Structure 1
């Protein structure tokens, strides 16, 4: 396999690499990638853009929110939720479909990662309050449907930079906090995640330390 390793961006080298691959394996050259599993890919001289605009638009149509009023944030400020909130039960199947779709949308939308992860905790017995909060995320997506991730050729800028944060007692059911992190290689986002912490932090500072430790790991 060593003779098939391709590095660099020389067009002639790329063509030779493709010929070598096709002579070694049974395969076809379908040209540049444009669409794959709901992810749109646009390759230009300015970089590679990946988005899920069409998927997001279909999701908005599915929940009759194509013409909804948009909001500036996925969640309300300092919003905290719990399983038993006194509201009527929502349709669990519809709620699970909504949250499952939002979680798939996070493949190119790290800005909704925290909200989608939080609402996934209530999949078993969602209430109308949970469903309404989940639909708020869709209203945010409606206003940001053109958002995409760009990957530029920045060979000289490959510094790894990470950001981490946490809320404190974000889950009112077990009093646990939620960690989040995002990493960039240069200006290119490469990894992001949000997850409830496994321990109960006794202070906001401890919650931050736990989040930082998880990000470093």
Structure 2
């Protein structure tokens, strides 16, 4: 997803075929199970399912081009998650502490799973 591009609702004359857009986004949502690197942009695109514009359709097609260009990359993801921030931190140090705690919990979980698998 283009970092500098801000997607937003548009007026009536810039709309595109909503049925085709929903079909495209629905198909790409299926791919997020094996490609977590596209989860964020697809989540953003799903906000515009009711009234998609040509800009939204073009951005979704760019994700498809990205997928086509990276088919031969080997996947090394072991675990991942996506969620909204549960707590508000008052400093960057506190935010890093919260993130480090989450990573440590995942590492302990992964060690236990691997120990059970021997």
Same fold? TM cut 0.5: yes
User: Runs of 5+ in structure 2 lacking a partner?
Assistant: 103-118
Q: TM-score scaled to structure 1, two decimals?
A: 0.37
Contact 1:96–1:123 (Cα < 8 Å) also in 2: yes
Q: Whole-Å Cα distance in 1 between the matches of residues 81 and 73 of structure 2?
A: 16
Equivalent position of 1:90 in the other structure: 16
Aligned to 1:6: none
Pairs within 5 Å for 1:7-156: 75-84=1-10, 88-150=14-76
Deviations 1:58-107 (A, max 9, x none): xxxxxxxxxxxxxxxxx123322111267611111110111111111011
2:116 match: none
User: Structure 1 or 2: larger helix share?
Assistant: 2
Distance 1:126 1:95, change over 3 A: same
Structure 1 residue aligned with 2:81, among 178, 188, 192? 192
Residues matched between the structures, number? 94
Structure 2 length-normalised TM:
0.64
Q: CA separation of 1:194/1:141 partners in 2, compared to 1, >3 Å: closer, same or farther?
A: farther
- Larger Rg over CA atoms: 1
Alpha-carbon shift at residue 114 of structure 1 (Å): 1.1
Instruction: Flag structure 1 segments of 5+ consecutive residues without an equivalent.
Output: 1-74, 151-187
Higher relative contact order (CA 8 A, sep 6+): 2
CA RMSD of aligned residues (A): 3.0
CA–CA separation in structure 1 for the residues paired with 2:74 and 2:83: 20
Write the distance in 1 (CA, Å) between the matches of 2:61 and 2:13.
16
Q: Return the alpha-carbon distance in structure 2 between the equivalents of residues 79 and 130 of structure 1.
A: 10
CA pair 143-85 structure 1, distance change in 2 beyond 3 A: farther
